[in-house]
């Protein structure tokens, strides 16, 4: 990483640049143009097997929602355990590196579960969520969360934790908790909208 | 018994705060969101403990440490879920009391509590002999599997409460009507 032109902060800078780009995109006409262009994709989603099953068989949709919630519970547990350890609130007598690494595996699996079930659910109500601003907020939060976790937090915590500024560590942990709870909260609010 | 439950539910439904809570878009949704999002704290911690016992998480950390250190946040999560759950029931008492899914959920919550008590007692008795093993002994693992299974079905039932497939207002087989506690001639749903 130190060979990079931007030094050890390459991925952090790229991620921040991407997030700024997304926000910039949100306030330009390009966004409204894209919004129209992707409409057929959402129409197509409802015609897929996932879409047909989700729309016509309510019990299947509800069951997949439950798996989504269970994945979310595991995701929340792994985030809170890891960040709680970094913040010195949980399992302080266990090496932080051990907790952080083990929780990373759990978070990755829970993310796979929630994304797969989320795609199924999105297919069932594609045209509804297309018009919901909160769905797009959730997508923005999700992409930010995934990028933050894999491109900023994970590479940072691969270093010896003793060598990292404690304030940076705490800020990373708090940001991680906030971003994942934001993803969950915006997801829940989709159910109340439309 | 079903008449008594129905009577209490109707009485709750007639109270002012039940109507206020139910009719408040933001308050009701905040309570429901808190109930669901607290899953990440309560069930999240519970899953980590159960997965540790099964050998799928933190195999290099003593099981007793994981169980002890995550117990407090897990209980805090469950307390918040319990309080918000009572509020959700209070907001829609008649329909909730006559929901078959709600009734199954309540029975399963009792099963979860009994299983947790037994699992905790068995762990306390024997943990010193297997604390550092990556997997707990089989009788402890059975308890962990039951915990995961019961709680998963609790979440399924909780999710299904929102759907009206088996509500008393619909025509249902007599068995469903009986299990849901539907009353002949009831006027409130």
**pLDDT tens column, B70-90:** 999 999 999 999 999 999 999
Least confident segment among A11-25, A56-70, B138-152: A11-25
The whole-angstrom separation of Cα B72 and Cα B36 is: 19
How many structural domains does chain B have?
A: 1
Q: Which residues of B touch A85 (CB under 8 A)?
A: none
Q: Is residue B186 part of a domain?
A: no
Interface probe for A, chosen from B34, B38, B58, B77 (most Cβ of A below 10 Å), is B58
Say yes or no to pLDDT of A2 above 60.
no
E runs forming strands in A39-137? none
B65 touches chain A (CB under 8 A): yes
B71 touches chain A (CB under 8 A): no
Chain A nearest-CA distance from B43, in A, is: 6
% of chain A exceeding 90 in pLDDT? 63
Residues 112-151 of B with CB under 8 A from A: none
Alpha carbons within 13 angstroms on the beta-carbon side of residue A188 total 21
A1 pLDDT band (50/70/90 cuts)?
very low
Q: Is residue B11 part of a domain?
A: yes
pLDDT mean across residues, chain A: 89
The whole-angstrom separation of Cα B177 and Cα B184 is: 9
Instruction: Note the pLDDT of residue B103.
Output: 95
For the segment B138-166, the average pLDDT, to the nearest whole number, is 93
The whole-angstrom separation of Cα B157 and Cα B162 is: 9
Q: Which of the pair, B40 or A13, is modelled with greater confidence?
A: B40
Query: What ipTM was assigned to the predicted interfaces of this complex?
Result: 0.90
For the segment B109-136, the average pLDDT, to the nearest whole number, is 93
% of chain B exceeding 70 in pLDDT? 100
Give me the domain span that covers residue B56: 2-180
Instruction: Note the pLDDT of residue B174.
Output: 87
For the segment B96-111, the average pLDDT, to the nearest whole number, is 95
Q: Is residue B188 part of a domain?
A: no
Q: Is residue B152 part of a domain?
A: yes
Q: Is residue B187 part of a domain?
A: no
Instruction: Note the pLDDT of residue A8.
Output: 67
Q: Is residue B84 part of a domain?
A: yes
Say yes or no to pLDDT of A29 above 90.
no
Q: Which residues of B touch A79 (CB under 8 A)?
A: 40, 44
A105, A21 contact by CB (below 8 A) = no
Q: Is residue B189 part of a domain?
A: no
Q: Which residue in A69, A93, A94 is closest to B39 by CB distance?
A: A69
Say if the Cβ atoms of A192 and B165 lie within 8 Å: no
């Amino acid at each position: 990483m130190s060979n990079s032109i931007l030094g050890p902060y390459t991925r952090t800078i790229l991620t921040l640049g991407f997030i700024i780009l997304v926000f910039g995109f949100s306030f330009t006409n390009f966004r409204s143009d894209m919004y129209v262009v992707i409409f057929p994709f959402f129409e197509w989603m409802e015609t897929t097997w996932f879409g047909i099953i989700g729309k016509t068989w309510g019990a299947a949709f509800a069951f997949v929602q439950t798996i989504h919630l269970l994945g979310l519970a595991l995701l929340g547990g792994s985030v809170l355990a890891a960040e709680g350890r970094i913040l010195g609130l949980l399992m302080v007598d266990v090496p932080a590196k051990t907790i952080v690494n083990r929780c990373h595996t759990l978070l990755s699996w829970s993310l796979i579960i929630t994304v797969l079930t989320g795609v199924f659910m999105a297919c069932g109500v594609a045209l509804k969520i297309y018009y919901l601003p909160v769905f797009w907020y959730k997508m923005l939060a999700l992409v930010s969360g995934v990028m933050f976790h894999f491109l900023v937090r994970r590479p940072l915590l691969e270093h010896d934790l003793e060598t990292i500024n404690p304030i940076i560590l705490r800020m990373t942990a708090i940001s991680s908790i906030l971003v994942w709870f934001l993803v969950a909260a915006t997801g829940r609010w989709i159910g109340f909208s439309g | 018994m079903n008449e008594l439950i129905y009577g209490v539910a109707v009485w709750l439904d007639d109270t002012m705060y039940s109507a206020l809570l139910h009719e408040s878009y933001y308050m009701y949704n905040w309570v429901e969101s808190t109930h669901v999002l607290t899953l990440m704290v309560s069930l999240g911690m519970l899953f980590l403990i159960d997965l540790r016992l099964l050998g799928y998480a933190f195999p290099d950390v003593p099981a007793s440490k994981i169980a002890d250190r995550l117990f407090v946040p897990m209980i805090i999560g469950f307390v918040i879920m319990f309080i918000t759950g009572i509020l959700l029931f209070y907001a829609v008492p008649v329909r909730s009391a006559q929901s078959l899914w709600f009734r199954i959920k309540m029975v399963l919550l009792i099963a979860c509590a009994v299983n947790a008590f037994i699992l905790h007692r068995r762990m306390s008795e024997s943990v010193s002999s297997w604390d550092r093993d990556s997997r707990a002994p089989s009788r402890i693992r059975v308890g962990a599997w039951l915990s995961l299974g019961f709680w998963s079905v609790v979440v399924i039932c909780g999710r299904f409460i929102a759907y009206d497939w088996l509500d008393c207002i619909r025509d249902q087989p007599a068995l469903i009507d009986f299990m849901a506690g539907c009353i002949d001639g009831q006027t409130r749903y």
